[in-house]
């Protein structure tokens, strides 16, 4: 795992957000997502700079369309933001989990 993945994993593991279990490096179809919470159908992705390149951005779009087709919501964050905006990232994840628990 990257440093940013390690940092976020330390905040997600052990059902720390509203008692929801997250898994890391979870296979979904032909893809492996960074973090997945099946109870609320939520994927959290941390993107490094390579995701800004057009070829990779297109692959990300295809992957996101596949996941949306399964009813899975995808939250994407820049890898750096986990260090520079930790509380904001965690708040967004918390709010999304809460919304998906109580639609």
Domain that holds residue 50: 3-101
Nearest in space to 59 (alpha carbons), one of 80, 32, 83, 81? 32
Per-residue pLDDT at 52: 61
pLDDT at residue 54 tops 70:
no
Q: Give the model confidence (pLDDT) of 61-97 as tens digits.
A: 899 999 999 999 999 999 999 999 999 999 999 999 9
Distance (Å, rounded) from C-alpha 61 to C-alpha 21? 26
Number of separate domains in the chain: 1
CATH assignment of the domain containing 71: 3.40.960.10
**What is this structure's pTM?**
0.90
- The answer to whether 24 and 9 have CB atoms below 8 angstroms apart is yes
Distance (Å, rounded) from C-alpha 22 to C-alpha 36? 5
- The answer to whether 7 and 82 have CB atoms below 8 angstroms apart is yes
């Amino acid at each position: 795992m990257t440093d940013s993945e390690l940092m976020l994993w330390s905040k997600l593991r052990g059902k720390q957000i509203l008692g929801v279990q997250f898994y890391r490096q979870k296979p979904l179809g032909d893809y492996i997502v960074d973090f997945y919470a099946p109870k609320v159908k939520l994927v959290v992705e941390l993107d490094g700079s390579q995701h800004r390149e057009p070829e990779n951005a297109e692959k990300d779009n295809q992957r996101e369309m596949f996941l949306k087709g399964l009813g899975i919501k995808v939250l994407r964050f820049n890898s750096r933001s986990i260090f520079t905006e930790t509380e904001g990232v965690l708040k967004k994840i918390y709010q999304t989990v809460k919304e998906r628990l109580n639609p």
